[in-house]
């Protein structure tokens, strides 16, 4: 895989012989193993680690609880005791396994996530930022996984429109959206989301709450599910029954900007220039877009002044918004940068 070679090159430039991934994103990127991320740390095991010293053979270091899933990736697995009635020692178990696998080599690590107890046994140098940036251009097998994650976005956006109605709370709608996504995935699914109706749309979003939705209100639904280690992203804004004139105008302006950006995307375009094009005539307090893959926000970040140059194989979500006069609208699609433009990967509707 192209990406493993890039990771090793980063290690070499940092004077190291191997890469040690400790973020769920980099572990998934190098090995295909998707760490559990939806209930916080476990007393039985540390988050998985992946050590890459040659471009064809990462070693996954996981607790016994993850050993079967780790082996299914085809990577070599070193496991330590997980769920057990014995005394807890996840840190000791992971630490000993790591020292053996690292074998005294100097390793390029992600120092923003590698626990100090594990770093203590290593000769390390930080390459976290370089590894994160190296994920921007996707390999073909990654594109297939991103497409599958975006299918879950399409399902969720369809469910949102299907079930949204006055009298339901945001949380009741959320339960139906999430239920639809998880049924389609066949598994529990981590999902970041904005799901708000009415006044909170003007504040760009937020988590669903107990507030009851009313006729005429906008629903802003931004769904970011993870499937097999890769994230999808999507946003649509729609009205419960008849939208106001303000909502129509905001929707028209945001949609127009999205169309303009997609028209401009191609290799060689500078991210900061795309950001300026997206904001032309709009005033929103967030990025205009971002890369996604093993993380839900990565390079290329479409933000003011960014000098990142788009390349074929990058996957980018664009999401201009118009939040004026008390009603917020955001529209978002994910695209793959191709040799001469882009392919829209998102399949959800953007109508108001």
Nearer to a copy of itself (CB atom), residue 80 or residue 247 = 80
**From residue 36 to residue 65, what is the string marking binding to a copy of itself with x (rule CB under 8 A)?**
-xxxxx-xx-x-------------------
User: Which residues, numbered 305-344, are part of the site for a copy of itself (CB under 8 A)?
Assistant: none
Question: Interface with a copy of itself includes 153 (CB under 8 A)?
Answer: no
Closer Cβ to a copy of itself, 41 or 140, answer by number: 41
Q: DSSP letter at 313?
A: T
Q: Which is nearer to a copy of itself, 210 or 268 (CB)?
A: 210
Where in 248-277 is the site for a copy of itself (CB under 8 A)?
Answer: 275
How many amino acids of this chain bind a copy of itself (CB under 8 A)?
64
- Closest CB 226 distance from a copy of itself, rounded Å: 8
CA 348/CA 334 separation, integer angstroms: 10
Element (H, E) at 80: strand 76-80
Please tell me the distance from the alpha carbon of residue 118 to that of residue 109, in angstroms, as a whole number: 11
Residue 17 touching a copy of itself (CB under 8 A): no
Please state the separation of Cα 12 from the chain's center in Å.
27
Distances (CA, A) of 279 to 81, 282, 304, 318: 52, 5, 9, 11
Non-local (6+) Cβ contacts of 91 within 8 A are 46, 115, 117, 118
Q: Looking only at residues 69 through 108 of this chain, which bind a copy of itself when binding is defined by CB under 8 A? A: 83, 85-86, 88, 90-91
Paired tokens of 115: 């626990």
Please count the residues of the chain.
352
Pattern 209-248, a copy of itself, x by CB under 8 A:
xx---------------x----------------------
Residue among 199, 204, 163, 156 nearest 180 (CA): 156
Count of CA atoms in the C-beta half-sphere (13 A) of 48: 35
Binding residues for a copy of itself (CB under 8 A): 23-25, 35, 37-41, 43-44, 46, 83, 85-86, 88, 90-91, 109, 111-120, 124, 126, 128, 132, 169, 171-172, 174-176, 178-179, 182-183, 186-188, 190-192, 207-210, 226, 275, 286-287, 295-298, 301, 303-304
């Amino acid at each position: 895989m192209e990406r493993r070679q890039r990771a090793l090159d980063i290690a070499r430039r940092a004077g190291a012989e191997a890469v040690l991934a400790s973020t769920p994103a980099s572990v998934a990127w190098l090995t295909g193993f998707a760490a559990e991320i939806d209930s916080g740390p476990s007393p039985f095991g540390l988050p998985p680690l992946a050590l890459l010293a040659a471009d064809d053979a990462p070693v996954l270091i996981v607790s016994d609880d993850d050993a079967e899933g780790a082996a299914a990736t085809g990577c070599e697995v070193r496991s330590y005791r997980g769920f057990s009635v014995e005394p807890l020692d996840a840190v000791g178990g992971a630490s000993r396994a790591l020292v053996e696998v690292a074998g005294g080599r100097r390793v390029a690590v992600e120092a923003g996530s590698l626990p100090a107890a594990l770093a203590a046994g290593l000769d390390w140098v930080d390459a976290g930022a370089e590894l994160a940036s190296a994920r921007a251009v996707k390999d073909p097998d990654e594109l297939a996984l991103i497409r599958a994650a975006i299918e879950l976005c399409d399902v969720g956006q369809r469910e949102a429109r299907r079930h949204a109605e006055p009298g339901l709370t945001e949380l009741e709608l959320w339960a139906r959206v999430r239920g639809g996504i998880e049924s389609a995935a066949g598994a529990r699914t981590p999902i970041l989301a904005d799901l708000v109706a009415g006044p909170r749309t003007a504040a760009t979003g937020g988590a669903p709450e107990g507030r009851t939705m009313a006729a005429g209100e906008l629903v802003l639904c931004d769904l970011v599910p993870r499937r097999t280690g890769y994230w999808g992203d999507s946003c649509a804004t729609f009205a419960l029954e008849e939208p106001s004139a303000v909502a129509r105008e905001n929707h028209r302006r945001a949609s127009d900007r999205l169309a303009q950006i997609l028209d401009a995307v191609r290799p060689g375009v500078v991210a900061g220039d795309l950001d300026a094009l997206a904001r032309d005539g709009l005033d929103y307090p967030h990025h205009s877009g971002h890369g996604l893959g093993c993380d839900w926000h990565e390079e290329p970040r479409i933000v003011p002044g960014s000098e990142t140059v788009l390349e074929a194989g990058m996957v980018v979500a664009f999401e201009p918004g118009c939040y004026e006069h008390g009603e917020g609208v955001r529209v978002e699609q994910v695209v793959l940068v191709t040799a001469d433009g882009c392919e829209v990967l998102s399949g959800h509707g953007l109508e108001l």
